[in-house]
């Protein structure tokens, strides 16, 4: 009887508060009935509508389980009507979805809200922060959950195609800055978009929920299945892990994260990270009346200037401790406690929520927020948490009310947690399955198969695996370009972006034919890197390990490798054969082993794609071919270069080639062969083939550039770098190119060509950028503390590594090295720099009253070359969180810090402005310090300035009363310290500057003299 009474009361309340507001035509709900200076809340927000109908859906299921079919059907149909109303509103904007997939431009985004009565748009594209990936993702997530519970929401194939395109729409969430859940972007409300963890997490959950999901139900046709590229889930997961517990660059924490660490997204599987994020929220944002949205949130406080949408940087700190508190966030904590089976916590939040309700016509309703009246602000700032707050007029916030009722339905035993999560996302949220990986080795012909067999490698020819067909990864990209295509809606399929290892490790049935896909490693058959046996072996192992770590399917992963006769002729091929053999025989790893193509296919996850208007070009058997040895008739210079390939040093040969190519077009004739004219391009193509087969890396790289080739994995690398908030700068100060993740391949290639005029440097830049992207994806720990990557600096470090003399060296010396050596130098540099960085972090806490001993002093020999140490350290600068907090604290002791030229805005830090607009834990503060220090040149001087900054933080910590009224100009501080050092030690050297003498000393010596200068500056500002 109790359950029936509770059900009746819930039905009555939900009908009064929610269903009575549902529009009879569109099915949409207004966010509220309020219209005030904060906005017109009678519009239908996508996010609010989905959350508002959750309790309707939940009560419908509860009534169904109780046998009340009539009322259950009423609620289920109301849920379907709302979800279809949103779907139709979005489908009217299918042109925006099509454009956004490629542009990722906020102005091309789906609208965040619609007219409740018509479902049409209500504000212009540029009049609102429409790009809210979390809202679109929430809709997709709940569409999947509601469909899995038995509702039929999507009814036509055109709707299936549109939902498929929405999947593409959110798939780039890991690298797409949006306006976020609060619609304003950056916390200053200046309309600047950011990558938001709450958006990435919701997208990740939606992608995982819809992966292989049939929108027509479990018995629906395959045509209604949604396809998600596995790498999109992996990239979202990796990005989320790197962001949490932060929300974005400007928000070090946000209560919106509660929606992704628990219900409804369940996007984080690592319990420690969930707990850490929740503790950050409750510790920094929790209050008596709910949680604050984020630190220094001025929204609907009495201090907010309502005549403008944005805040001034200088006013943000005024909102400290008086931010509004939202009961909404207690509803997430309430529901999550119920999912966790924690009765005491659930009861605690239920009691808190019910104590915050406003009684309206006998129903307890949750207000949007509680704010501090003007007369209590001062007392609250003096003693945070001491003052009573007042509910605003927006009662109820239907979104919050719905989640409270959803929790109540669970708490009263009317639904089990599984009913609200029929897809079991909370159990499989990035639950990595260390599945077996089937290694399938294919060959282009029987001769190649025989060569592999002689070396103990088991292989099959392309003919032997029929009816299975092998497909290059770019052809799979072409196939996905038709998945979801719908001419009536003017929608194409997936944008033509590279597919990575997880996607190519699944198998496919496309229009009735069955396919294996080569790894993306072999996307470019003529990639010179593939002819470095060591690089190929290491990349193979690296990709297989990446698959093992990120595989989330129960079925085996299928790694398909094609060995051609041409590849088998490369030098040191035995090392590649050994690597493949050891993988096949499981001698090193028990998770990867040999499998025939047919067996691997049967054990794999098969994606069935039904597409039209596409002709795929599978791999075909081919005869053995060798590179041309002799030409019939060539221009003398071309013949000389060809004949000298194995006789002259590469650097000399490359100079000859450069001279020959000067002012010649690629279509120029250079000879003839077999009676046919030979163009410069044809000759270069053959020269490129021969040099890569001979492992003449300088010549191969030069030919690669001369043929205007670019590595296809560049765009993918940039995407991965963007998700880590890494600024990428190409070139040097003379010709600099700042890379954006939003650049198209053509724009990127144009920028690289414009920045690097030297062909070898252009090729090396691409090679290193692609490799850094791969390392960020496979070994992210190497990039801890890095905020920017200046590729020129990495090139310089790679050049210097292993050199005996300091004589001038050209990039040609790097160009002659195998790709595997260049890669290893990059890894060595990042590993060394990270080790030094980690050691310095561990030793950064000084004894009271003492200067800290530097890590360099502790970990390096006493006769270390400190000038060289500073040079290497300055080329790759890392900033740890403790150092950043110390810098932020030290800003209270000065008016201005000058990092570069005096009075230059680009090198000046206004201390009070920064402290009043950024918190110490903000990524934007870290990026600011990185920008101020990265512009310093040369590299050894940059290191010295960072050391001086460190000494400044320690001085301020040791002298709490210190205050520098005059600008602290670090260049002048270092010069003064150098003069004192030279005078005191009588260390002057003829023809050298004082600063150079100081920079040859240990960091401990430098900081001690900087400390003396700071003490003098401080005493000069103290009253007599």
Q: Check whether residue 495 and residue 534 sit in a common domain.
A: yes
Q: Check whether residue 437 and residue 584 sit in a common domain.
A: yes
Burial environment of residue 245 by CB neighbours within 10 A (0 to 12, 13 to 18, 19 or more): buried
Q: Check whether residue 383 and residue 404 sit in a common domain.
A: yes
Q: Check whether residue 247 and residue 328 sit in a common domain.
A: no
User: Is residue 621 assigned to a domain?
Assistant: no
- In which residue ranges of the chain is pLDDT below 50? 430, 804-805, 808, 839-862, 1024
Domain end marker among 270, 285, 300: 285
8 A C-beta contact, residue 198 and residue 260: yes
Q: Check whether residue 361 and residue 482 sit in a common domain.
A: no
User: Cα separation of 369 and 400, whole Å?
Assistant: 10
User: Cα separation of 317 and 50, whole Å?
Assistant: 34
Q: Check whether residue 732 and residue 665 sit in a common domain.
A: no
First to last CA, the chain: 83
Question: Which 3 state secondary structure label does DSSP give 186?
Answer: coil
Domain end marker among 574, 609, 644: 609
User: Is residue 841 assigned to a domain?
Assistant: no
User: Is residue 830 assigned to a domain?
Assistant: yes
pTM beyond 0.75: the answer is yes
DSSP state of 608: E
| Cα-trace Rg, the chain | 32
8 A C-beta contact, residue 604 and residue 558: yes
User: Is residue 672 assigned to a domain?
Assistant: yes
8 A C-beta contact, residue 1013 and residue 980: yes
User: Is residue 856 assigned to a domain?
Assistant: no
| Strands annotated E in 618-658 | 633-634
Q: Check whether residue 674 and residue 718 sit in a common domain.
A: no
Q: Residue 678: which H helix or E strand, with range?
A: strand 676-679
Q: Check whether residue 235 and residue 327 sit in a common domain.
A: no
Q: Check whether residue 105 and residue 152 sit in a common domain.
A: no
Number of domains the chain is built from: 7
8 A C-beta contact, residue 412 and residue 426: no
Q: Check whether residue 753 and residue 811 sit in a common domain.
A: yes
Burial environment of residue 474 by CB neighbours within 10 A (0 to 12, 13 to 18, 19 or more): middle
8 A C-beta contact, residue 785 and residue 837: yes
In angstroms, the Cα distances linking 451 to 460, 464, 567, 568 are 12, 16, 11, 8
Nearest one of 630, 621, 204, 240 to 447, comparing CA atoms:
621
User: Is residue 782 assigned to a domain?
Assistant: yes
Give tens-digit pLDDT for 290-334. 999 999 999 999 998 887 777 887 788 889 999 999 999 999 999
User: Is residue 853 assigned to a domain?
Assistant: no
Q: Check whether residue 47 and residue 117 sit in a common domain.
A: yes
Residue-range definition of the domain harbouring residue 240:
131-285
Helix intervals (H) in 779-850: 791-800, 812-815, 819-842
pLDDT of residue 864: 63
DSSP state of 111: P
| Strands annotated E in 557-641 | 557-563, 592-594, 606-609, 633-634
Q: Check whether residue 701 and residue 741 sit in a common domain.
A: no
User: Is residue 533 assigned to a domain?
Assistant: yes
pLDDT of residue 741: 67
Nearest one of 807, 798, 788, 738 to 768, comparing CA atoms:
798
Residue bearing tokens 């207690």: 330
For β-strands 676-679 and 896-898, DSSP reports them as unpaired
Q: What share of the chain is helix, strand, coil (3-state, %, to 5)?
A: 50, 10, 40
| Strands annotated E in 855-986 | 896-898, 908-910, 968-969
pLDDT of residue 802: 59
Domain end marker among 252, 285, 318: 285
8 A C-beta contact, residue 853 and residue 1004: yes
8 A C-beta contact, residue 543 and residue 501: yes
φ, ψ (nearest 5 deg) of residue 878:
-115, 150
């Amino acid at each position: 009887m109790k359950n029936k009474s509770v059900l009746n009361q819930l039905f009555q309340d939900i009908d009064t508060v929610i269903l009575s507001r549902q529009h009879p035509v569109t099915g949409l709900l207004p966010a509220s009935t309020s219209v005030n200076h904060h906005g017109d809340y009678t519009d239908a927000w996508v996010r609010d509508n989905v959350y508002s109908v959750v309790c309707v859906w939940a009560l419908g299921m509860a009534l169904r389980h109780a046998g009340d079919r009539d009322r259950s059907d009423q609620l289920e149909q109301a849920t379907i009507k709302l979800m279809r109303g949103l779907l139709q509103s979005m489908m009217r904007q299918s042109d925006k979805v099509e454009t956004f997939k490629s542009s990722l431009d906020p102005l091309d985004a789906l609208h965040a809200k619609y007219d409740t009565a018509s479902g049409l748009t209500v504000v212009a594209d540029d009049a609102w922060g429409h790009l809210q990936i979390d809202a679109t993702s929430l809709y997709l997530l709940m569409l999947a959950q509601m469909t899995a519970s038995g509702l039929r929401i999507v009814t036509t194939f055109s709707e299936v195609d549109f939902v498929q395109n929405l999947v593409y729409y959110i798939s780039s969430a890991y690298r797409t800055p949006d306006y976020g859940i609060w619609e304003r972007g950056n916390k200053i409300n200046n309309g600047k978009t950011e990558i938001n963890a709450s958006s990435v997490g919701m997208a990740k959950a939606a992608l995982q929920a819809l992966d292989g999901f049939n929108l027509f139900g479990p018995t629906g046709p395959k045509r209604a299945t949604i396809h998600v590229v596995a790498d999109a889930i992996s990239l979202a997961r990796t990005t989320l892990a790197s962001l949490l517990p932060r929300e974005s660059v400007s928000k070090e924490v946000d209560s919106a994260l509660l929606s992704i660490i628990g219900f409804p997204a369940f996007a984080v599987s690592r319990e420690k990270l969930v707990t850490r994020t929740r503790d950050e929220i409750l510790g920094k944002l929790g209050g008596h009346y709910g949680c604050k949205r984020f630190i220094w949130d001025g929204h609907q406080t009495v201090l907010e200037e309502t005549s403008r949408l944005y805040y001034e940087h200088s006013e943000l700190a005024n909102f400290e401790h008086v931010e509004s508190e939202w009961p909404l966030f207690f509803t997430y904590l309430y529901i999550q406690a119920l999912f966790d089976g924690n009765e005491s916590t659930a009861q605690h939040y239920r009691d808190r929520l019910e104590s915050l309700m406003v009684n309206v016509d006998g129903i307890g309703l949750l207000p949007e927020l509680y704010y501090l009246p003007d007369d209590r602000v001062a007392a609250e700032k003096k003693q945070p948490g001491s003052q009573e707050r007042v509910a605003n007029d927006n009662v109820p916030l239907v979104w919050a009310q719905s989640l409270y009722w959803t929790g109540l339905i669970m708490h009263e035993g009317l639904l089990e947690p599984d009913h609200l999560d029929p897809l079991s996302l909370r159990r499989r949220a990035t639950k990595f399955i260390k599945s077996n990986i089937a290694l399938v080795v294919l060959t282009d012909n029987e001769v190649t198969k025989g060569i592999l067999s002689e070396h103990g490698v088991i292989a099959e020819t392309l003919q032997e695996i029929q009816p299975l067909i092998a497909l290059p990864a770019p052809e799979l990209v072409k196939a996905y370009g038709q998945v979801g295509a719908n001419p009536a809606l003017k929608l194409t399929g997936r944008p033509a972006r590279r597919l990575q290892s997880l996607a190519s490790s699944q198998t496919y049935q496309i229009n009735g034919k069955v396919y294996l896909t080569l790894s993306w490693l072999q996307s470019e058959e003529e990639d010179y890197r593939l002819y470095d046996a060591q690089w190929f072996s290491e990349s193979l192992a690296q990709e297989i390990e990446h698959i093992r770590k990120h595989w989330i399917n129960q079925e085996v992963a299928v790694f398909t490798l094609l060995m051609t006769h041409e590849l088998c002729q490369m030098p040191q091929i035995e090392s590649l054969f050994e690597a493949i053999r050891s993988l096949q025989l499981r001698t090193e790893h028990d998770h990867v082993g040999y499998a025939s193509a047919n067996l691997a296919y049967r054990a794999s996850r098969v994606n069935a794609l039904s597409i039209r208007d596409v002709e795929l070009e599978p791999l075909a058997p081919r005869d053995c071919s060798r590179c041309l040895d002799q030409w019939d008739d060539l221009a003398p210079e071309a013949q000389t270069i060809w004949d000298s390939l194995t006789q002259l040093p590469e650097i000399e040969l490359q100079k000859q080639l450069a001279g020959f190519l000067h002012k010649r077009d690629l279509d120029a004739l250079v000879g003839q062969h077999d009676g046919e004219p030979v163009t410069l391009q044809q000759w270069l193509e053959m020269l490129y083939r021969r040099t890569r087969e001979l492992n003449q890396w300088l010549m191969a790289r030069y030919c690669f550039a001369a043929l205007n080739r670019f590595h296809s994995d560049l765009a993918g690398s940039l995407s991965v770098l963007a998700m880590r908030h890494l600024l990428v700068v190409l070139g040097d100060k003379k010709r600099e190119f700042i890379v954006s993740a939003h650049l198209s391949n053509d724009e990127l290639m144009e920028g690289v060509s414009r920045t690097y005029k030297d062909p070898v440097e252009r090729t090396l830049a691409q090679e290193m950028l692609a490799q850094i992207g791969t390392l960020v994806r496979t070994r992210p720990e190497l990039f801890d503390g890095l905020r920017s990557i200046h590729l020129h600096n990495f090139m310089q470090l790679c050049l210097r590594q292993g050199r005996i003399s300091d004589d001038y060296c050209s990039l040609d010396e790097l160009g002659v090295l195998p790709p595997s050596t260049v890669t290893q130098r990059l890894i060595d540099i990042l590993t060394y720099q990270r080790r030094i960085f980690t050691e310095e972090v561990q030793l950064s806490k000084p004894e009271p009253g003492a200067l800290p001993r530097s890590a360099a002093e502790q970990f390096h020999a006493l006769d270390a070359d400190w000038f060289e140490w500073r040079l290497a350290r300055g080329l790759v600068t890392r900033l740890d969180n403790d150092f950043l907090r110390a810098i932020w604290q030290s800003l209270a002791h000065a008016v201005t810090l000058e990092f570069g030229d005096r009075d230059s805005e680009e090198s000046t830090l206004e201390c009070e402005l920064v402290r009043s607009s950024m918190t110490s834990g903000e990524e934007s503060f870290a990026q600011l310090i990185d920008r101020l220090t990265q512009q310093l040149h040369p590299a050894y001087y940059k290191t010295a300035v960072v050391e001086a900054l460190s000494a400044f933080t320690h001085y301020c910590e040791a002298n709490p009363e210190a205050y520098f009224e005059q600008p602290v100009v670090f260049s002048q501080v270092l010069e003064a310290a150098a003069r004192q050092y030279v005078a005191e030690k009588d260390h002057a050297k003829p023809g050298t500057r004082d600063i150079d003498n100081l920079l040859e000393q240990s960091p401990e010596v430098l900081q001690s003299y900087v400390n003396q200068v700071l003490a003098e500056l401080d005493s000069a500002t103290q009253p007599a």
